[in-house]
């Protein structure tokens, strides 16, 4: 029997990768639901190819026909009876409700939308405990960690080492970073991704989001999660065990495998579409220390993760808003980390015990950044 998949954010970088992967897996999976934000033309093409029972478009720009519209379509798609797996490939905090809804209904969430876990890690854990749903990560680093840990108990894990490509500014001097342009920031050396995560990879805020994501996914304390720069993006992450053995998962930099693995875990299937790995072709593999002082967004994010409460939600929302302002040309590259720092300084001790409280923290951080930019 085929399993039904809902793809939230089907028109994005991960969404289109997933459809490419799933077109080769029709005997295992069927596309039950697709949602997108506003790209109706591409969504139309996808509907014609995959015939989902449910189609949602958050912001219709023209006739949406029989499609559902509005932001509720994410939760509707994620809650359907004919959906077994929800691939959450939406960008930003907008994906949180759908993740919670799917977990409450006992479904698997193949999670690309890392902002969801950063904003509401505790609530997400509670939703899966209540409903019996599970999260399987799509992020390549977390997919790697999952594959390395296998079924070993957490007590055998000494440390996670998350790899970072270093982004386009890995070897830029600190003075030049302040005024790096948008075009510079969007020139990622190893991955082709949506604009928001590409900017996050340039500031290293993405790695901070990933450290927090790893903390929640694997239940490992922040003291035992390290980051190392690895420009080739071939080693997707390492797990060090208590006996000193270190296991890495490797492969060509392609999201097709982590997307497929999130759907089939713990099984492995044919036709992942990944180019064969040639160790000689891919050599040399190099590793460098993180330049913590030159990329302050990384340290700020980890600080927010360690503090817990609503601070990770504040970090995430301030970053989302600051990146949007940078994409619109209203702040400099260096201004992104300053906006995050300002929001974290002024919004301390906020409650995080309910969805409403987290939303309030999210909203306050966005307002803080908007007002800071307007001044």
Whole-number minimum distance, CB 200 to Mg ion, in Å?
9
DSSP structure string for 292-342:
TTT-HHHHHHHHHHHH-TTHHHHHHHHHHHHHHHHHTTSS-HHHHHHHHHH
Say how far apart CA 134 and CA 127 lie, in whole Å: 9
Q: Among Mg ion, ligand NAD, none, what does residue 312 contact (CB within 5–8 Å per kind)?
A: none
Pick the closer one to Mg ion by CB: 32 or 113.
113
Q: Among Mg ion, ligand NAD, none, what does residue 143 contact (CB within 5–8 Å per kind)?
A: none
Q: Which residue has the tokens 């193949």?
A: 110
Say how far apart CA 55 and CA 32 lie, in whole Å: 9
Tell me if 84 contacts Mg ion by CB under 5 A.
Answer: no
The count of chain residues that interact with Mg ion, using the rule CB under 5 A, is 2
Pick the closer one to ligand NAD by CB: 214 or 240.
214
Say how far apart CA 213 and CA 219 lie, in whole Å: 10
Whole-number minimum distance, CB 90 to ligand NAD, in Å?
4
Whole-number minimum distance, CB 320 to ligand NAD, in Å?
10
Whole-number minimum distance, CB 346 to ligand NAD, in Å?
25
Pick the closer one to ligand NAD by CB: 9 or 305.
9
Whole-number minimum distance, CB 99 to ligand NAD, in Å?
11
By the 10 Å C-beta count (0-12 exposed, 13-18 middle, 19+ buried), 122 is classed as middle
Q: Among Mg ion, ligand NAD, none, what does residue 256 contact (CB within 5–8 Å per kind)?
A: none
Interface ranges with ligand NAD (CB under 6 A)? 9-15, 36-37, 39, 58, 74, 89-91, 94, 112-115, 139, 191, 193-194, 197, 255
Pick the closer one to ligand NAD by CB: 90 or 149.
90
When CB distances to ligand NAD are compared, the closest residue is 12
Say how far apart CA 325 and CA 340 lie, in whole Å: 12
292-to-104, 203, 295, 302, 331 alpha-carbon distances in Å: 38, 11, 5, 11, 22
How many residues are there in the chain?
A: 375
Q: Which residues ranging from 122 to 161 are in contact with Mg ion (CB under 5 A)?
A: 139, 141
**Regarding beta strands 68-69 and 85-88, do their DSSP bridges make them parallel or antiparallel, or are they unpaired?**
unpaired
Whole-number minimum distance, CB 53 to ligand NAD, in Å?
19
Task: Tell me which residues touch Mg ion (CB under 5 A).
Answer: 139, 141
């Amino acid at each position: 029997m085929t399993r039904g998949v809902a793809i939230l954010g089907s028109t994005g970088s991960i969404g289109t990768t997933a459809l490419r992967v799933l077109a080769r897996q029709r005997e295992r999976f069927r596309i039950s639901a697709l949602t997108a934000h506003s790209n109706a033309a591409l969504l139309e093409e996808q509907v014609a190819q995959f015939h989902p029972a449910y189609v949602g478009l958050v912001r219709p720009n023209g006739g949406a026909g029989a499609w559902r519209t509005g932001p509720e379509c994410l939760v509707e798609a994620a809650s359907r009876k004919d959906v077994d797996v929800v691939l959450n490939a939406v960008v930003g905090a907008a994906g949180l409700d759908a993740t919670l809804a799917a977990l409450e209904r006992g479904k698997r969430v193949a999670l690309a939308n890392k902002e969801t876990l950063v904003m509401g890690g505790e609530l997400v854990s509670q939703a899966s405990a209540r409903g019996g749903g599970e999260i399987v990560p799509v992020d390549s680093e977390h997919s790697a960690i999952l594959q390395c840990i296998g079924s070993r108990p957490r007590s055998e894990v000494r440390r996670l080492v998350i790899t970072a490509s270093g982004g386009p500014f890995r070897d830029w001097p600190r003075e030049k970073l302040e005024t790096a342009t948008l075009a510079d920031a969007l020139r990622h050396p190893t991955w082709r991704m949506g604009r928001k995560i590409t900017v996050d990879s340039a500031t290293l805020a993405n790695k901070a989001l990933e450290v927090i994501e790893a903390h929640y996914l694997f239940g490992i304390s922040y003291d035992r999660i390290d980051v190392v720069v690895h420009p080739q993006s071939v080693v997707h992450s390492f797990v060090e065990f208590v006996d000193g053995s270190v296991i890495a998962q490797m492969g060509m930099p392609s999201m097709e495998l982590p997307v497929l693995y999130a759907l089939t875990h713990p099984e492995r299937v044919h036709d992942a579409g990944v180019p064969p790995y040639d160790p000689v072709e891919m050599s040399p593999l190099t590793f460098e220390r993180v330049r913590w002082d030159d990329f302050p967004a990384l340290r700020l994010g980890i600080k927010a993760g360690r503090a817990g409460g609503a601070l990770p939600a504040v970090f995430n929302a301030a970053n989302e808003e600051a990146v949007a302002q940078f994409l619109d040309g209203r702040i400099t590259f260096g201004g992104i980390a300053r906006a995050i720092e300002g929001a974290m300084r002024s919004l301390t001790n906020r409650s995080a015990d309910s969805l409403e409280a987290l939303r309030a923290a999210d909203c306050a951080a966005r307002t803080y950044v908007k007002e800071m930019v307007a001044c």
